[in-house]
Structure 1
Amino acid sequence: MTENTRALSDVLDQLESSAHGDSIMVQEVIEKLGHKSFASLMLVFSLISTSPASAIPGITATVAVIVFILVVQMIIGRDCVWLPSFITHRRMSTTKLCKGIGWLRKPVGFVERFLKARLTFLFHRPWLWLPLSLILALTLFMPFMEIIPTSGSIASAVIALFAAGMLTRDGALVVLSLIFLSAVPVAVWYFGFGG
């Protein structure tokens, strides 16, 4: 397995090594992953929102705000991550965080076996602006998904796929995330008003 395809597990390792005490501040996560790690941070917070930690009230809305801010900065070409203090000072339970990381290990390990650099033109402008714009639009609806069970996790999974594609330079994963993104409204309607 190449270093590139280990990127997802490496992010989980870094996140787990930052967990200490009863809780951890978002600022500590940013410092551990690096101030230029837009994709890593996007992956981490979207994965938290798809894991059992998503049961924490308000986590979907918080993740939506974080991803929105990250995507805007990526679109305008900012080099370093900036997040407002009301987010960076927010604390997460390390017990729930580590439980979420443990839950994610198997699916992440499985996905990594299929990842490789391909369709890399999608990571250059203007191509990159399309998925970024769609992810940005998705984050605007995520806070409202708090009232519909599982819908927030579905949206977060789409963002995680996109971020994983960026980290591993796998354009096929980015395309897959956009396909799933188009299915989010259908899933929200089904779980919220159908079924």
Structure 2
Amino acid sequence: MAQAQTHGLSDVLDQLEETAHGESIAVQEVVEKLGRHAFASLMLVFSLISLSPASGIPGVTTVVAAIVFILAVQMVAGRQCLWLPRFITRRQLSTAKLCKGVGWLRRPVQAVEKLSRPRLRILLHRPWIYLPLVLILGLTLLMPVMEVVPTSGSIASGVIALFAAGLLTRDGVFVLISLALLLAVPVAVWHFGFSG
């Protein structure tokens, strides 16, 4: 994979928080801070943004879905250096809401760190890694629609965040959990979108 080394999940949040300055920051600044080789870190950061209270901003889930889609495509293709189109890198994120989201995410991220350890690493290599990547590609195509269905977008973002956490901590168990949670996404869409 493009990023094989282990990184603490809290370190990724620290790096994200360090980008915060002024009233807003561009997606490009986040990418440059985390590095153009850090596919898994970037996938984690943007899925967590969509999972945090910042997801209440209209369009955030769609932008995150587009970024994750592009990341996953490049990971499948085996690219070593990230590319994102300018219409995405120029998008601005509210610094205040970003910092609030980072603070909100600290506790769950620390809980995940305590549970994670290198295991089932075969799932993080080809050809096994292609299955979750392809499923995540499909999931990102549905995420823009999920903006109008309460909770479903958060579940989708959680699935992606767990997958990225598994890559970063070299923990194949988290990859398996993310695949299991993928099954909850259509159930959530059906329940919250069509029930009642």
Q: TM-score range by the shorter chain?
A: over 0.9
Deviation, structure 1 residue 192:
1.1
The secondary structure found in structure 2 opposite 1:147 is coil
The aligned runs of 1:154-169 (5 Å cut-off) are 154-169=155-170
Per-residue deviation, residues 7-51 of structure 1 (Å, max 9, x unmatched) = 110000000011111100000000000000000000000000010
- Identity across matched positions, percent: 69
- Structure 1 residue 121 and structure 2 residue 125: aligned? no
The CA deviation at 1:151 is: 1.2
Return the letter of the residue paired with 1:133: V
Aligned to 2:77: 76
User: Which 4+ runs in 1 deviate beyond 6 A?
Assistant: none
1:52 aligned to 2:48? no
Matches within 5 A, 1:8-87: 8-87=9-88
CA offset at residue 64 of structure 1? 0.6
Aligned to 1:108: 109
Query: What does residue 97 of structure 1 align with?
Result: 98
Q: Assess if the C-alpha contact under 8 Å between 2:122 and 2:128 holds in 1.
A: yes
In structure 1, what is the Cα distance between the partners aligned to 2:103 and 2:152? Answer: 22
Give aligned pairs, total. Answer: 192
C-alpha deviation, 1:149, in angstroms? 1.4
Q: Which SS does the other structure have where 1:78 is aligned?
A: coil
Q: Partner of 1:172 in structure 2?
A: 173
Task: Please list the CA deviations of residues 115-134 of structure 1 after superposition, one character each: whole Å capped at 9, or x if unmatched.
Answer: 00000001111111011000
Which amino acid in the other structure matches residue 154 of structure 1?
Answer: I
What stretches of structure 1 of length at least 5 have no aligned partner?
none
CA distance in 1, matches of 2:156, 2:85: 23
Give TM-score scaled by structure 2 length: 0.96
Aligned to 1:151: 152
Structure 2: unaligned runs, 5 residues or longer: none
1:150 deviation in Å? Answer: 1.7
Amino acid at match of 1:50: L
CA deviations 1:150-171 (Å, max 9, x no partner) are 2111100100000000010000
